[in-house]
Amino acid sequence: MMKHLLYLSYVIRHKWFVMLACWSEGLYWQGITHDLSKFSPSEWFAYAEYFYGNLIPRSELAGDFRYTYIKTKEWHQDRFDLAWLSHQHQNNHHWQNWILREDDGETKALPMSPKARLEMVCDWRGAGRAQGHGNQWSQTLGWYSTNQHRIILHPDTREWVERFLDSK
């Protein structure tokens, strides 16, 4: 139960700070609806367990005491990975939503819509604030500078993101 309360506290804090960032940029509806999928059972339970649960392998009886179901660290990671993939594809403010895997295995970044890319940087700022990393856009720029090599963006989207963050 405690893991769910801790996760609820974080999600509310995150949504609040993202909403403030979105509203400061005129994205009122996105500020309200941001990350609502985190409240779906498929995301909620996997996230709460992953971030606030006990990841030490443990056994639980699964109905019939002759069978023991073991939840390993890998089991938790697989649940989290599925929840995270679902979250990315339900929320177009994630850059991963704009990545196309071609049939030949190549990866292609598509240009993000203006609202999605603006909500994305508001999400970065809100996440930073919710995790205690400050209230300034400069902290978001610093985070982006450190992590940009892992973020796959269309060149037009990357140019916009960098210009936007530099202007703040």
Same domain as 141, residue 108? yes
Report whether 32 contacts 19 (CB < 8 A). yes
What integer pLDDT is reported at residue 54 of this predicted model?
61
E strand or H helix that includes residue 59: strand 58-61
Report whether 128 contacts 151 (CB < 8 A). no
Same domain as 126, residue 43? no
70 forms beta bridges with: 59
Same domain as 44, residue 30? no
What integer pLDDT is reported at residue 71 of this predicted model?
65
Same domain as 77, residue 143? no
What integer pLDDT is reported at residue 57 of this predicted model?
41
Apex CA 118: angle with CA 135 and CA 45, to 5°? 75
What integer pLDDT is reported at residue 70 of this predicted model?
55
Same domain as 41, residue 17? no
Same domain as 108, residue 48? no
What integer pLDDT is reported at residue 17 of this predicted model?
96
Which residue is associated with the tokens 């006990």?
54
Same domain as 41, residue 63? yes
Same domain as 43, residue 21? no
The predicted-structure confidence for 104-151, as pLDDT tens digits, reads as follows 999 999 999 999 999 999 999 999 998 888 878 889 999 999 999 999
Report whether 157 contacts 98 (CB < 8 A). yes
E strand or H helix that includes residue 107: strand 107-109
Same domain as 29, residue 101? yes
Give 159's Cβ-side CA count (13 Å radius): 4
What integer pLDDT is reported at residue 53 of this predicted model?
81
Domains: count for the chain: 2
Q: What range defines the domain where residue 41 resides?
A: 37-90
Could you count the other beta carbons within 10 Å of the beta carbon of residue 4?
15
Which residue is associated with the tokens 């989207």?
157
Same domain as 76, residue 7? no
What integer pLDDT is reported at residue 133 of this predicted model?
85
Low-confidence ranges of the chain (pLDDT < 70): 54-71
